[in-house]
Amino acid sequence: MATDVSPQVVVGAAVVRDGRVLAARRTTPPEAAGRWEFPGGKVDEGESDDAALVRELAEELGVRVRVVRWLAGEQSVGPGGRYRLRVAVVRLEAGEPEATEHDRLRWLDPARLDEVDWLDGDRPFLDELSALAPTLDP
């Protein structure tokens, strides 16, 4: 019997608009509630990372996005580190983000991304994002 050993991928979107970065506050599970993340979710079987990100942002925030670039690296996240988190910078193509699954959204200054209590697995992406966000056109 073949065993799939590759961990499931979770994709997160760093939405950048006017040089600021969108952060979203989780409501579940209890240990992650109140902490901040990049909106996104699990990649479905047979789905590309880009397509998963576009789908998740439509579902969670009601917006259409375009992937600009993936940040370096991956992090083990979730219970027992069972998922691999990848994060991409995306731009808004249509719509205004509205929290449907999160209880709060905030646009952060890239120089002060640590103003919110990020999930641990998100922190390693912040330095690259701080450097990159101001270089993107509005």
Ligand X SMILES: Nc1nc2c([nH]c(=O)n2[C@H]2C[C@H](O)[C@@H](COP(=O)(O)OP(=O)(O)OP(=O)(O)O)O2)c(=O)[nH]1
**Given the rule CB under 6 A, which residues bind ligand X?**
10, 12, 37-38, 40-42, 77-78, 83, 85, 119, 121-122
Answer yes or no: are the C-beta atoms of 25 and 102 closer than 8 Å: yes
Q: How far is the CB of 70 from ligand X (least distance, A)?
A: 14
Q: Which residues pair with 75 in a beta bridge?
A: 85
Q: How far is the CB of 54 from ligand X (least distance, A)?
A: 14
Q: Give the C-alpha separation, 93 to 61, whole Å.
A: 13
Nearer to ligand X among residue 78 and residue 110 (C-beta) = 78
Q: How far is the CB of 1 from ligand X (least distance, A)?
A: 25
Q: How far is the CB of 130 from ligand X (least distance, A)?
A: 16
